[in-house]
Amino acid sequence: MVRVLVVLLSILSFAPAALAERDMPRIDAAPNPTVTDETPNDPGYAPLLQAFDRYRALAATGGWGTVPTGPKLEFGMRDSRVAAMRARLAASGDLSETGADPDLFDAALAQGVMRFQERHGLEADGVTGFKTIDALNVSVEQRLKTIALNLERMRALRIDPARPLVLVNIAGAELDVIENGVVALHSPTIVGRIDRPTPLLESEIDRLEFNPYWNVPVRIAQVDLLPKVRKNKSYYNDLNFRVYSSYGETAREIDPGAVNWYSAEAKKYRLRQDPGPENALGPAKFLFPNAYSVYLHGTSHPELFAKTARYLSSGCIRLPDPLGFAAYLLRDDPAWSRAEIDRVVAAGRNKGVRLARPVPVMLAYRTSWVDAGGAVQFRDDVYGLDRGA
């Protein structure tokens, strides 16, 4: 009997202190959705449970075959591996047409490959390279374990259906606002790098800032920014950083051009970036109490959202449309129309706003879920939390 240990609420050295290990549901017996105190209010639970049943039925009939590795395959090519690819995609429901020529990579197969790639967080280009073949060759039994693991994660979270919820899925690098059991707002995000992971936590967004200052964390100042100013002495001036003599309360502002950035003392200086187009936090940031000093914010590099793998930050969560998110959070406050938000941002001055009603936020880790269109999604276990799944 296959069982998987689930480690909840943990991310490498950034994990919260409270850990829990639970046995996973058996693959030959679906998780019991009838136990009232165990059935979550998460609207994603029931669709994923149905996917579990479909994949279990598929496993019972033999699952799917594998696709031999080799050079990439793409539209218009002929190859003996194409037939195996057709069979594999048909088994998982990504391809419905059989094709007149089993060895021809035709348009229907290209569409099937793109559908599969989209479901697995791969670049949806229709080209079958090594990453796509590796994903195709993950067995149905392994996918079942992943689904079961994520069902258990959903069961462990208590969601209040009477309140909106901001749910950030770190593994999927996306954000959903769940309201009245449905997704009211969906957005891609940028989350923490593997070596600087975004922590799992629950809190409440209670305030936000327009035109935020960025008080640069020590690690980022020393590891990321110091090499840049050493290459370009005007780097801090160009990007509107202010340099302070220390991290103490009596620190004084100093001219970055007067500092020897190659000296041993270069690491003692504190950095703060002023609001503006160059500010790394973008036009707004969203704060919630937590032990990790992480928050949601905009970005001065929106082009990064075009990437498929968006594990690029130092732990905070970046949003492509922070002002739209701000408008959602402030939608019930007559003092904060979208026009007023835009006016305040255009003025360029820092402005803090406390929410009259804080909004729950969860930073979760889900490597499988069902999207709004009914497609079963899978993502790589980028932080290594699917232990044994």
Residues 85 and 195 in one domain: no
DSSP 268: G
Residues 325 and 203 in one domain: yes
Cα separation of 143 and 55, whole Å? 8
Residues 132 and 196 in one domain: no
For this structure, is 297 an active site residue? yes
Per-residue pLDDT of the chain (389 residues; tens, 9 = 90+): 233 333 332 322 323 322 222 333 444 434 443 333 456 778 899 999 999 999 999 999 999 999 999 999 999 999 999 999 999 999 999 998 777 788 999 999 999 999 999 999 999 999 999 999 999 999 999 999 999 999 999 998 888 888 999 999 999 999 999 998 889 999 999 999 999 999 999 999 999 999 999 999 999 999 999 999 999 999 999 999 999 999 888 899 999 999 999 999 999 999 999 999 999 999 999 999 999 999 999 999 999 999 999 999 999 999 999 999 999 999 999 999 999 999 999 999 999 999 999 999 999 999 999 998 999 999 999 999 997 54
Name the residue type at position 51. A
Q: Which domain covers residue 326, as residue numbers? A: 191-213+275-364
Question: Has residue 104 been placed in a domain?
Answer: yes
Question: Has residue 327 been placed in a domain?
Answer: yes
| CATH code: domain of residue 333 | 2.40.440
Cα separation of 141 and 63, whole Å? 8
Question: Has residue 382 been placed in a domain?
Answer: no
| CATH code: domain of residue 110 | 1.10.101.10
Residues 208 and 85 in one domain: no
Among 359, 343, 236, 234, smallest CA distance to 289 is for 359
Question: Has residue 285 been placed in a domain?
Answer: yes
Catalytic site residue from 120, 186, 297, 301: 297
Catalytic site residue from 120, 186, 301, 316: 316
Cα separation of 367 and 142, whole Å? 12
Question: Has residue 1 been placed in a domain?
Answer: no
Residues 106 and 205 in one domain: no
Q: Model pTM?
A: 0.86
Question: Has residue 295 been placed in a domain?
Answer: yes
The total number of structural domains that make up the chain: 2
